[in-house]
Amino acid sequence: MKNLIFCFLLMVSAIALAQHEPIKVVFDVTSSDTDVHKTAAKHLILMAEAYPDSSFEMVIYSGAIQMVDKKLSAASKNLEAALQKKNVEVVVCEQTMKRHKMDATDLIPGIGSVPDGIMEIVLKQKAGWGYIKEAK
């Protein structure tokens, strides 16, 4: 965990030194680990606050579905705080929702959906967005 935090802080520092214009970053979350959920949501808040003119999107799919479930999420408070930022969007894969028999009413308010999480990330990268894989 210390290595993950150190790497994240190093990355943020590098971005801060190199940033001359707004950036766009897509976060990829697939882990079922609730510690990853909490850390990822916190990273999203920190980045959004540090770079208010930049754009951030978190894409959640596969094993991370519990992260956006309003009844089960261990990261709901941080996700709700992140969603209050004008430069943050959090989306979940509709295919993952179907596999888990979920619909929009099961999600934390403010979380959107995309037809396919992987395709969303690919399209963001094609449009020049940076990429962060949140994992343990």
Task: Supply the pLDDT for residue 8.
Answer: 54
Q: How many residues belong to the chain?
A: 136
Distance CA 2, CA 116 (A): 32
Specify whether domain 2-134 bears CATH 3.30.2310.20.
Answer: no
Distance CA 82, CA 80 (A): 5
pTM of the entire predicted model: 0.85
For 4-33, how does the pLDDT look when each residue is reduced to its tens digit (9 = 90+)?
A: 554 455 455 555 555 568 999 999 999 999
Q: Where are the domains of the chain?
A: 2-134
Task: Supply the pLDDT for residue 6.
Answer: 46
Closest Cα to residue 109, out of 82, 134, 127? 82
Mean of all residue pLDDT scores within the chain: 91
Task: Supply the pLDDT for residue 108.
Answer: 98
